[in-house]
Chains A and B, each alone.
Chain A
């Protein structure tokens, strides 16, 4: 069966510090991978998605970036965090098709930028 891991679970970082969130998927090959952000009490905002190693599409211009160094690893990064980067970050995977399949989400990382 497939599982998706995210870490860390919670993170408190000062403004201007770097960020690295990691997501890994097990039990599937060549998944589509996604990063979402959820502000408190709000819906989900798609940040990045990837259909393969090194293939990243950005949905929202911001100070965040994403990388996919391995087939089942997806990393969200920032060189300098802003207060507005606070939120709940969710990684998800789906079967490799044109979005026709449901997404499976990780447990999320709660980021607070102080």
Chain B
């Protein structure tokens, strides 16, 4: 089965706290692609990062970092020193190499950052 699980429905933090959003995926494919998207209150999804299954290097972009671990089928997203502007719904997504063009999205995690 192809599946993405974001177990955290909502997270609330105070500004400047670090927060990690969890993502666990399932796929039988050996080649696949993982993504994170941000959906601010305006509604438009914004692409954040893409990882290939054969590249397990973690990535850091400013206050954002991603931890990809194939051994646990996880692709977690950490925001360091969170800010109010980080408040949004964050989606983790999986595109298996087979199955055509279907990308499977997780249910999303709503992050509230309070001032």
Q: Which residues of A contact B (CB under 8 A)?
A: 32, 34, 42-44, 46, 49, 51, 57, 59, 88, 90, 92, 94, 98-108, 110
Contacts and interface: CB of A to CB of B under 8 A. Distances in A.
16 contacts: A34-B101, A42-B107, A43-B107, A44-B45, A44-B91, A88-B43, A90-B45, A99-B103, A101-B50, A103-B35, A103-B47, A104-B47, A107-B42, A107-B43, A107-B44, A110-B43
Interface of B: 33, 35, 37, 42-47, 50, 52, 91, 95-97, 100-103, 105-108
B21 to A, nearest CB: 14
A51 B101 contact: yes
A34 B100 CA distance: 13
A101 B34 CA distance: 10
B106 to A, nearest CB: 6
B105 A99 contact: no
B47 A108 contact: no
B33 A99 contact: yes
B40 to A, nearest CB: 11
B101 A99 contact: yes
Nearest to A107: B44
Given A44-B91, A57-B101, A103-B35, 18 more contacts: A34-B101, A42-B108, A43-B107, A43-B108, A44-B45, A46-B103, A49-B101, A59-B102, A88-B43, A99-B96, A100-B33, A101-B50, A102-B47, A103-B103, A105-B47, A107-B42, A107-B43, A110-B43
